[in-house]
Amino acid sequence: MNDHLVINPATEEVVATVPGTTPADVYAAVKRAESAQEQWAATAPGDRARLLRCVAERIDHHLDELARIEVLEAGHPIGNARWEAGNARDLFAYAAGGIERLNGLQIPVSGGIDVTFHEPLGVIAVIAPWNFPMPIAAWGVAPALAAGNAVLLKPAEVTPLSAIRLAEIALEAGLPEGLFQVLPGAGRIVGNALVEHPRVAKVVFTGSTSVGKRIMAQCADQVKRVTLELGGKNPNIIFADADLEQAAAATPGSFLDNTGQDCCARSRILVQRSVFDRYMELLEPAVKAFRVGAPDDPDTQMGPLISEAQRQTVRSFVNDDAPVAFRGSAPDGKGFWYPATVLTPSSPDAAAAVEEIFGPVAVVLPFEDEADAVRLANNTEYGLSGSIWTRDVGRALRVSRGVSAGNLSVNSHSSVRYWAPFGGYKQSGLGRELGPDALAAFTETKNVFISTDD
Ligand code: NAD
């Protein structure tokens, strides 16, 4: 009844059946986590760092196995999946280094000394989505553990397998029993029980903006700490002075990677009107050349969508009257395939231009000048990422400062480096993950004044 089928999105075959966690299991897991956390917080920082480095090494040892799990349960191309497993490894290694650098301050005062401590919060719930199951889990789990907390990870219903394997690997590497547990199951049961549990000190949620808003409201009731990484509808702004060939060649990967199921997908392409037609001429062959096929083929660049439900959602944005400029191809037969699709809506307010589609669909819209580009870029409730293509350094900086988004790139589409901060403006999220301050988000700062008076 509570079991979840894991389906291979490329073949529609059942890969595994995973029993769902019950609310009673969640309560038992929180108890185990609490006692493990007490021990963990009391463990010497150097020993905790060494253990997390062992976890990183062990993930590296199982990198190919983890990548193949992601090919099976998420339909990710094997090249992408290897990167994802490597990203989880790197997160553990990076967070381990943070343990030895979780320094407090010594603040000048008279009559004594004043120092600060970064203390762990306790038990952290990480609720993850299906689009990047391993990296997004590791973004929360690794720094939370490093800061001295225990972690309960709730993976998405459709992609629990890599999370389960990650926790086994961590245990094999020597992480104490109960410190990092995976609780698969339904969001409204397991996720909800974690959010409401009074002994869960913080929720790190990555997923849709609608569920994120609900979780934030629930957390308010207990003044529970919360980090939210939500949706995106990210602009790719191409000025007339850009290297147009390079900008067009880089565009397919920017919205087709992970079949567009990427919160950072640049699915709103804004092109200065004077070069619009030339850009479209360059874009069409580039999109058609993006290699779609079997995820286990190392040459594949784009696999299927995650599920039939996701395919229906994507289709709902591309009805019979949709302003299709051109499309790529997709395999026939079994699997949740959907071709790359480029739309040229007449209005910048069209649903496809402002709502997150989470599929291989982009819109291209013209703009007149710099001010118009910034206005259009900010014309959504989201603010996660974006790209700016120009040869003018001053313009690159002005537009970077003008766009309300947390992660921008100039003459590139890169958004995420684990050693740089990541997070959203507006309804794309709350708080930051990754980067040098990642551990701080899992601590309370305590200030202590010690009098030196006799
Ligand atoms: P989702 O919101 O449906 O689910 C995300 C997770 O929340 C899942 O584990 C789900 O089981 C759980 N959940 C669902 N209802 C819940 C509830 N009531 N209480 C507690 N937990 C609940 O999102 P999804 O469809 O899995 O993921 C796609 C979305 O994630 C997209 O909108 C995408 O933009 C967003 N996303 C954002 C980022 C980011 O970093 N900003 C990264 C990846 C994905």
Give the model confidence (pLDDT) of 128-157 as tens digits.
999 999 999 999 999 999 999 999 999 999
Domain boundaries 235-417, corresponding CATH code: 3.40.309.10
Mean pLDDT of 343-366: 97
Residues with CB under 6 A from ligand 1: 127-132, 136, 154, 156-157, 187-188, 191-192, 195, 206-208, 211, 214-215, 229-232, 263, 356, 358, 384, 424, 428-429
| Confidence at 111, pLDDT banded by 50, 70, 90 | very high
Closest CA to 442 of 99, 26, 46: 99
Give SS3 for 363.
strand
Mean pLDDT of 190-198: 98
Check whether 1 has a pLDDT greater than 80: no
Choose one of 2, 84, 127 to mutate for the ligand 1 pocket test, by most ligand atoms within 8 angstroms of C-beta.
127
pLDDT in tens, 163-186: 999 999 999 999 999 999 999 999
- 132 CA to centre of ligand 1 in angstroms: 11
Choose one of 263, 358, 415 to mutate for the ligand 1 pocket test, by most ligand atoms within 8 angstroms of C-beta.
263
Which CATH number, 3.40.190.10, 3.40.50.300, 3.40.605.10, 1.10.357.10, labels domain 3-230+428-451? 3.40.605.10
pLDDT in tens, 196-219: 999 999 999 999 999 999 999 999
Q: For ligand 1, what atom is nearest to the CA of residue 155?
A: 9
CATH 3.40.605.10 in the chain, residues? 3-230+428-451
CATH 3.40.309.10 in the chain, residues? 235-417
Closest CA to 204 of 245, 147, 161: 147
Please, are residues 105 and 116 in contact by the beta-carbon 8 Å criterion?
A: yes
Q: Which amino acid is at 385?
A: S
Question: What pLDDT does 414 receive?
Answer: 83
| Whether residue 54 lies in the annotated active site | no
| Confidence at 2, pLDDT banded by 50, 70, 90 | confident
Question: What pLDDT does 181 receive?
Answer: 98
Alpha helices in 289-347 (DSSP H): 308-315
* C-alpha neighbours within 13 Å on the C-beta side of residue 5: 8
Mean pLDDT of 214-241: 98
* C-alpha neighbours within 13 Å on the C-beta side of residue 388: 25
- Chain-wide mean pLDDT for the chain? 97
High-pLDDT (> 70) share of the chain, %:
100
